[in-house]
Amino acid sequence: DAGITQSPRYKITETGRQVTLMCHQTWSHSYMFWYRQDLGHGLRLIYYSAAADITDKGEVPDGYVVSRSKTENFPLTLESATRSQTSVYFCASRKQGMKYEQYFGPGTRLTVT
């Protein structure tokens, strides 16, 4: 059971380039989430999805785009990367039902130069 995976694990890119971070889960969980983790800010929600083709903004969505054509995949795209988007990005998934916990992927460390 692979669980939830993210790729790449590490990425260095230049300012202005488009970057896509991948997230894949094998549990068929309805909900998926993208967070960024920055020193002093904890985890902040970027986007979330309640099901395939249903996405919504979180706390810090500017500069990011998501899609969810299949239940198991939830890619996050930085359309034109900026240095302020240097961060560690975590994907998470959850079963339908408020009481269930989120399961987190291993993270992608992104550096924008």
Strands (E), 1-113: 4-7, 10-13, 19-25, 31-38, 42-51, 54-57, 64-66, 76-78, 87-94, 103-104, 108-112
- Strand partners of residue 19: 78
Lay out the site mask for other proteins across 5-44 (x = CB under 8 A, - = otherwise): --------------------------x-x------xxxx-
Task: Provide the minimum distance between the beta carbon of 91 and other proteins in the complex, in angstroms, as a whole number.
Answer: 9
Contact set for other proteins, span 50-69 (CB under 8 A): 50, 56, 58
DSSP 8-state class, residue 105:
-
Task: Provide the minimum distance between the beta carbon of 92 and other proteins in the complex, in angstroms, as a whole number.
Answer: 8
Contact set for other proteins, span 71-90 (CB under 8 A): 90
Size of the site for other proteins (CB under 8 A): 25
Residue 27 near residue 93 (C-beta atoms within 8 A)? yes
**Is 65 or 109 the residue whose CB approaches other proteins more closely?**
109
